[in-house]
Structure 1
Amino acid sequence: MTFEQILIAPVLSEKTNALREQGKYVFKVDTAASKIEIKEAVRKLFNVKVVDCTVMNVDGKFKRVRGRPGKTSSWKKAIVRLAPGETIKVFEGV
């Protein structure tokens, strides 16, 4: 699995914006990726020093489309904490 396949997309919300001020960044990651692989992918792709990585599985939500019940896909979320003073420039808009 390549580094680009491990990190699927950043998670952007009000809550993740508040976490960014603490030096934490949130990503949607591949379900088969481990903490070590996620740390290495962030370090290589964004050229930053990763201190910690927290991973959690997010269950899909039950939805109703055109009267029929369904469920959204489950996914894996990673919260990556960077060393003090480190930032990911893509998130900062620079």
Structure 2
Amino acid sequence: MSQSYVLKKAILSEKAYALMKRGIYTFLVDARAHKKEIAKAVGLQFGVSVAKVRISKFAPKTKRIMKSRKTTLTGGGKKALVTLTSGQSIALLAPKSEKGKKKIKKEENKNKEK
């Protein structure tokens, strides 16, 4: 499988951000991809070395279409939890720092008061 088709997108949720602080990044991957392909794709795309890859599949959910009896399936797929070696991080996926935001807000409030 081509490296460009292995990683679909990064999963950015509250749980994913909590894991990012520990060096674990979550990606939605192709259903046919296996651990070695995922590790290689992350290493090539982000320039980091991967220590461990964990994979989990999740089932699609059924949703009812409004004003009809029909149902459809949404979601479903495979996600990978990629652990990087210690001291490495992916800058594109790093959460924004809270300290910088607070300083900017304080400066804006001071300017408004004047």
- Same-fold call, TM cutoff 0.5: yes
Does the 8 Å CA contact 2:20/2:94 hold for their aligned counterparts?
no
Percent identity between the aligned chains? 35
Please, which of 68, 71, 79 is the counterpart of residue 69 of structure 1?
Answer: 71
**Where do 5+ consecutive residues of structure 2 fail to align?**
97-114
Instruction: Compare the two structures and name the one with the higher strand fraction.
Output: 1
Q: Which has the higher contact order (CA 8 A, sep 6+)?
A: 1
Instruction: Compare the two structures and name the one with the higher helix fraction.
Output: 2
Please give the root-mean-square deviation of Cα atoms over the aligned residues, in Å.
1.4
- Pair member with larger Rg: 2
User: Which whole-Å CA distance do the structure 1 matches of 2:75 and 2:88 have between them?
Assistant: 33
1:2-13 to structure 2, matched below 5 A, reads 2-13=2-13
| Structure 1 residue ranges, 4+ long, deviating more than 4 angstroms after superposition | none
Q: How many residues align?
A: 94
Q: Secondary structure at the match of 1:62?
A: strand
Q: Give the deviation of 1:73 after TM superposition.
A: 3.7
**Where do 5+ consecutive residues of structure 1 fail to align?**
none
1:29-40 to structure 2, matched below 5 A, reads 29-40=29-40
